[in-house]
Amino acid sequence: MKIIKVKNYDEMSRKAANIISAQVLIKPDSVLGLATGGSPLGTYKQLIEWYNKGDIDFSEITSINLDEYVGLPDTHEQSYHYFMHENFFDHVNVKPENIHVPNGVAANMTQACREYEELIKKAGGIDLQLLGIGTDGHIGFNEPDDFFEPLTHVVSLTESTIKANTRFFDSEDDVPRKAITVGIKTIMQAKKVLLIVNGKNKADAVKEAVCGKVTPAVPASILQLHPDCTIIGDEEAFSKL
């Protein structure tokens, strides 16, 4: 596990974008596992800036998103499908047919999960997986549990996750209670993992994930076992290491 400490969010975003752009330059047809939320916004903004300058080309990449809320259509402003188009896809030259986000409104969610796993296998696996981390140590929507859920699955969101995501909705009652997420095994099978984290409110989670025992009670702790994992965090996020 490689740990990179930076001063602030902007520096974190730039370093993360550097790693992603290097991956795409080395392998133009990379399969990128992408994340949503506040943490990667600056990274996407930097990648868009470099794309507009002609420094990076996304035309051959395949994107596979980590998760999606169950029950929100693609057109909903808080769906992750909408988020990714608004904050990244619509500003670069990723081919529409190479964009993949879990189906949160499938009639058969079990089948949707199985099909998403097959899609990842057919793509050849994930070359680089971008992750954030929740205040409870979750990655994707893999919440603290008694065991690591290996494959793509539907999960009931914890109270802390619901409260954390309330800022994106009109009220807490509007936050979906379930999500579909790529599982821990699938994340761990990515060739590279890049975790980005900022803010004092993530310091406890980072400490447990990096220094604590590997446990499904802190899902991010499994990354200690990944052969090529880089964590980039600001001073506040790393304040308890």
- Assign residue 137 a region (left: φ > 0; alpha: ψ between -120 and 50; beta: otherwise): left
User: Catalytic residue among 81, 100, 138, 226, which?
Assistant: 138
User: Catalytic residue among 67, 149, 208, 234, which?
Assistant: 67
Owner of token pair 């899902």: 219
Torsion angles phi and psi, residue 203, rounded to 5? -60, -45
Say whether 172 is catalytic. no
Owner of token pair 């099909």: 115
Say whether 91 is catalytic. no
Sheet holding 128-131, edge to edge: 2-6, 229-234, 192-197, 128-131, 31-34, 62-65, 99-100
Owner of token pair 């509007």: 174
User: Catalytic residue among 68, 127, 136, 149, which?
Assistant: 136
For residues 143 and 146, give the distance between their C-alpha atoms in angstroms, rounded to a whole number: 10
- End-to-end CA separation in angstroms for the chain: 14
CB 158 within 8 A of CB 143: yes
Say whether 81 is catalytic. no
Say whether 138 is catalytic. yes
Torsion angles phi and psi, residue 202, rounded to 5? -100, 0
User: Catalytic residue among 143, 149, 208, 234, which?
Assistant: 143
Largest Cα separation within the chain, whole Å, is 47
Query: In 3D, which of 17, 71, 12 has the Cα closest to residue 46?
Result: 17
Single-letter amino acid code for the residue at 238: F
- Assign residue 38 a region (left: φ > 0; alpha: ψ between -120 and 50; beta: otherwise): alpha
Which residues are annotated as catalytic?
A: 67, 136, 138, 143
